[in-house]
């Protein structure tokens, strides 16, 4: 299971616990089962003939589909699941046309996996299979070591196959083995390794007489040295520009040759004359002639006709005629997009691999098993490694203090409109640190609106909640929330209202408002509520107050002002009092509601945390918890609204005094020390949750529970949404 181990510094955990028991999550298991199927399909056709590849492919895609469903952000993948259904419908009939869909599914399923481990698995697996095939062929137990009957240039030649059915099959896998080796270990190679690798790779290529294989092998070896020499500045930009020119040139070449080549197979092995003919004779072994025949004998269709004449030996031509124009356009877009992705991520090995892919596809065919055309490497390998994964999220360039320590962070499971460059947390951190929003973060800020944090197993996790939830320190290293908890240096009480900086500034000045302005307000009470799921006392208060005074409701729930208001504070500031009711009354659970009531220049009528007087000045608001009954509370609220003196006394009382907790919480630098202490520590020391033995098992059980919840949510969430709509309609 060594391929499942991950070195610290790049997915720093391991799937094995200290007692060597395998600790894969359910989603990991389905992913690796799919990869196993992919590996079997990858070799079975070319080593053993066409034995059940379609069935194994469908089974593998089923594993990937389940993996996608269990993923943290599966909602984004619903279109991909639809593609899977389409793939299943056409796979048995037209498997080749489903190739792009299959690649997409593999990529999405592997989004939260470590790509290097996947490539290591294919690298070592490929090497083992090739060694076994070669040994068995030498012993006469499987296929042959070489083939005496390979026709080329009007004669039969001996070409080594090393257990593969065809010499080109061996040449491809031999090259792919080198490509994966370069991709994984090029940065670690000593200079004397390159000539040894060159000799070790080129000699078998000569034996199997694969000219294109030797060409791209040389390209890969030379390119691997070049990318070691260039840095990440202008030379890398030049390499990217020249790489694009090169890919356009090699792709254009085959199509130009397809149209303008007028050669023929020369009799008696004579070399044809002209420009194209010698090139075709010596390098392409007649493939340009095949391309010409395809051009004159076939028509281009959108989806291909699968009866192309002599097109299988030329990749770009076979893709165009046999699989159709749409297939080729998608493939070319993917190849150039991957090359751009590699460049943006400064992944030079990935860029080199795409260049080799573009070269190899000039002379090698597309076939439906993704085992002879490098789509596997171009897809699973490079796209996964970039961590691009079709993500729509635009991550900003590094920002903050250019002279500070660089920190790689991510935000997971927060509300949808969170500004990654301008929020309470980064506004504290960017004063001191250079911040990079990363797909492979060292630190992950997590909230409670999803399970995306599960894919950041190696990150130090800092939990923040704006909901009435107690943090689980078995899942998170640190936490910030509402609860009154004393837990070493791992917790900071940080109520949600601390993040409303605009409202904070207004609320601090509310007691300075002019008396004439205050007394000019004649409207009594307002409320803005949109969530129908809350404690019943809120409805009771609203209903009882409505019997004795006007209560304007500006939210979606119980709206009576002609529709939801767009500006909450602007709406509330026209009233003397505003209802600020929490959804529940747990101690410490204090949200932005009371703060916004202060900021609007109103007297908050509060219900929620019984410790609210510890946070805000009790002389400045009405606490419903102080009353024995709804009736007595309503009576007092009405009296304050109608009595100018009582109203002014409360309005003139400051929101907080130095004795209240909110006095410090509302300071701009309140959380600075807590956060900076985390980032000033080495990551190893900052990592505080137990990730061994029982701790790791606990986390895996939580992952399994989350994954089951994601499946049940597919049914429960639509029903919950329908129920909310029904409730809102009933209360209008």
Count the domains in the chain: 4
Residues 202 and 245 in one domain: no
Asked if 580 contacts 592 with a C-beta cutoff of 8 angstroms, the reply is no
Same domain, 532 and 581: yes
Cα–Cα distances (Å) from 24 to 29, 31, 94, 145, 450, in that order, read 6, 10, 35, 40, 21
Residues 173 and 194 both lie in one domain: yes
Domain edge (last residue) among 342, 357, 392: 392
- Buried residues in 207-232 as b, exposed as e (16+ CB within 10 A): bbbbebbbbbbebbbebbeebeeeee
Q: State the CATH number of the domain containing residue 450.
A: 3.40.50.11650
CA–CA dist 608, 587 (Å, integer): 8
- Which residues span the domain enclosing 569? 500-665
* Within-domain flag for 525: yes
**Is position 96 within any domain?**
no
Higher-confidence residue of 672 and 182: namely 672
My answer on whether 648 and 515 are in the same domain is yes
- Name the pairing type of β-strands 622-623 and 399-400: unpaired
Mean pLDDT of 246-265: 76
Instruction: For residues 534 and 651, state if they share a domain.
Output: yes
Question: 297 and 356 share a domain?
Answer: yes
Q: Which of 151-187 are b and which e, b meaning 16 or more Cβ less than 10 Å from the residue's Cβ?
A: eeeeeeeebbbbbbbbbbbbbbbbbbbbbbbbbeebe
Pairing of strands 155-160, 146-152: antiparallel
Q: Averaged over 547-569, what is the pLDDT?
A: 89
Q: Strands 433-437 and 399-400: what pairing?
A: antiparallel
In a domain, 58, yes or no: no
Strand partners, 604: 578
Same-domain check for residues 211 and 244: no
Q: Is residue 24 part of a domain?
A: no
Predicted local confidence at residue 215, as pLDDT: 76
Going by pLDDT thresholds of 50, 70 and 90, the confidence category of residue 376 is very low
My answer on whether 352 and 211 are in the same domain is: no
Of 392, 412, 444, which one is at a domain's C-terminal end?
392
User: Does 171 share its domain with 218?
Assistant: yes
Residue 636, domain CATH: 3.40.50.11660
Average pLDDT over residues 91-109: 59
User: Each residue of 671-696: pLDDT tens digit?
Assistant: 999 999 999 988 889 999 887 777 77
Instruction: Mark whether 547 and 429 lie in a shared domain.
Output: no
Contacts 24+ apart (CB under 8 A), 146-155: 146/207, 150/209, 152/209, 152/285, 153/269, 153/281, 153/285, 154/265, 154/267, 154/268, 154/269, 155/269
Q: Are 398 and 434 in contact (CB under 8 A)?
A: yes
Own/partner pairs, 442-445, CB within 8 angstroms, 24+ separation? 442/407, 442/408, 442/409, 442/683, 443/407, 443/408, 443/409, 443/410, 443/678, 443/679, 443/683, 443/686, 444/409, 444/410, 444/411, 444/412, 445/409, 445/410, 445/411, 445/412, 445/414
| 409, part of any domain | yes
Confidence (pLDDT) at 190: 83
Model pLDDT for residues 458-502, shown as the tens digit of each residue: 899 999 998 888 999 988 999 999 999 999 999 999 999 999 988
- Taking Cα atoms as reference points, which of 467, 504, 480, 471 lies closest to residue 616? 504
* SS3 readout for 570-627: HHHCCEEEEEEECCCCCCCCCCCHHHHHHHCCCEEEEECCCCHHHHCCHHHCEEHHHC
What pLDDT does residue 617 have?
Answer: 95
Question: Which residue in the block uniquely carries the two structure tokens 């002019």?
Answer: 514
620 near 650, Cβ under 8 Å? yes
Is there a single domain that holds both residue 275 and residue 364? Answer: yes
Residue 621 has pLDDT above 60, yes or no: yes
Model confidence, pTM: 0.59
**Residue 450 confidence class, pLDDT cut points 50, 70, 90:** confident
Model confidence band, residue 624 (pLDDT cutoffs 50, 70, 90): very high
Lowest mean pLDDT among 145-159, 414-428, 611-625: 145-159
Per-residue pLDDT tens over the stretch 712-730: 666 666 666 676 666 656 5
Question: Looking at 229, 264, 292, which one is the last position of a domain?
Answer: 229
Do 254 and 374 belong together in one domain?
yes
Q: Is 117 exposed, middle or buried, given 0-12, 13-18 or 19+ CB atoms closer than 10 A?
A: buried
Residue 75 resides in a domain:
no
């Amino acid at each position: 299971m060594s391929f499942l181990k991950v070195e610290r510094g790049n997915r720093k955990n391991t799937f094995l616990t200290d007692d060597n028991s395998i600790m894969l999550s359910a989603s990991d298991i389905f992913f690796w089962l799919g990869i196993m199927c992919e590996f079997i399909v990858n070799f079975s056709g070319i080593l053993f003939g066409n034995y059940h590849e379609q069935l194994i492919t469908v089974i593998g895609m089923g594993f990937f589909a389940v993996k996608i469903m269990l993923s943290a952000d599966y909602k984004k993948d619903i279109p991909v699941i639809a593609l899977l259904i389409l793939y299943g419908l056409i796979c048995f009939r037209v498997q080749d046309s489903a190739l792009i869909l299959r690649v997409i599914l593999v990529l999405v399923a592997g989004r939260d996996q470590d790509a290097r481990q996947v490539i290591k698995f294919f690298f070592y697996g490929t090497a083992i299979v090739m060694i076994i095939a070669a040994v068995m062929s030498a012993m006469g137990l499987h296929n042959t070591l070489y083939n005496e009957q390979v026709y080329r240039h009007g004669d039969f030649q001996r070409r080594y196959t090393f257990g593969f059915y065809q010499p080109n099959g061996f040449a491809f896998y031999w090259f792919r083995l080198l490509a994966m080796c370069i991709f994984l270990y090029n940065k670690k190679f000593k200079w004397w390794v390159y000539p040894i690798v060159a000799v070790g790779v080129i000699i078998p290529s000569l034996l199997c007489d694969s000219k294109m294989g030797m060409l791209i092998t040389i390209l890969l070896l030379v390119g691997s040295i070049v990318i070691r020499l260039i840095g990440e500045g202008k030379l890398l930009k030049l390499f990217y520009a020249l790489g694009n020119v090169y890919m356009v040139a090699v792709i254009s070449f085959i199509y130009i040759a397809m149209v303008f080549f007028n050669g023929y197979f020369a009799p008696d092995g004579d070399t044809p004359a002209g420009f194209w003919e010698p090139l075709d004779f010596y390098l392409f072994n007649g493939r340009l002639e095949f391309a010409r025949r395809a051009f004159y004998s076939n028509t281009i269709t959108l989806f291909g006709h699968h009866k192309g004449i002599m097109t299988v030996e030329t990749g770009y031509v076979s893709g165009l005629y046999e699989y159709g124009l749409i297939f080729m356009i998608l493939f070319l877009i993917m190849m150039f997009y991957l090359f751009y992705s590699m460049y943006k991520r400064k992944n030079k090995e990935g860029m080199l691999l795409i260049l080799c892919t573009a070269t190899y596809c000039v002379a090698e065919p597309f076939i439906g098993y993704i085992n002879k055309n490098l789509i596997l490497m171009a897809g699973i390998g490079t796209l996964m490694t970039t961590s691009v994964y079709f993500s729509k999220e635009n991550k900003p360039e590094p920002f903050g203090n250019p002279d500070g320590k660089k920190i790689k962070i991510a935000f997971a499971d927060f509300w949808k409109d969170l500004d990654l460059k301008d929020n309470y947390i980064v506004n504290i951190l960017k004063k001191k640190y250079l911040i990079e929003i990363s797909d492979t973060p060292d630190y992950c800020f997590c909230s409670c609106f999803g399970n995306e944090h599960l894919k950041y197993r190696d990150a130090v996790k800092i939990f923040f909640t704006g909901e009435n939830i107690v943090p689980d320190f078995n899942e998170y290293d640190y936490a910030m929330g509402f609860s009154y908890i004393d837990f070493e240096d791992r917790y900071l009480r940080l109520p949600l209202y601390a993040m409303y900086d605009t409202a904070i500034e207004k609320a601090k000045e509310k007691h300075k408002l002019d008396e004439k302005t205050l007394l000019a307000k004649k409207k009594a009470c307002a409320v803005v509520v949109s969530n129908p799921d809350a404690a019943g006392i809120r409805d009771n208060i609203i209903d009882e107050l409505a019997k004795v005074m006007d209560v304007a409701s500006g939210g979606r729930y119980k709206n009576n002002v002609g529709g939801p208001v767009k500006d909450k504070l602007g709406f509330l500031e026209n009233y003397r009092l505003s209802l600020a009711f929490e959804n529940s009354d747990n101690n410490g659970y204090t949200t932005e509601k009371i703060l916004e009531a202060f900021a609007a220049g109103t007297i908050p009528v509060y219900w929620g945390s019984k410790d609210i007087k510890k946070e805000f000045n009790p002389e400045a608001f009405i606490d419903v918890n102080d009353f024995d009954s709804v009736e007595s509370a309503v009576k007092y609220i009405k009296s304050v609204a109608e009595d100018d003196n009582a109203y002014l006394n409360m309005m003139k009382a400051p929101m907080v005094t130095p004795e209240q907790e909110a006095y410090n919480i509302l300071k701009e630098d309140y959380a600075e020390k807590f956060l900076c202490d985390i980032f000033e520590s080495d990551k190893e020391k900052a990592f505080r949750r137990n990730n061994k033995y029982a701790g790791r098992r606990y986390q895996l059980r939580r992952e399994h529970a989350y994954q089951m919840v994601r499946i049940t949510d597919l049914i429960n969430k639509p029903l919950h949404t329908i129920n909310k709509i029904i409730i809102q309609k009933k209360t209008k």
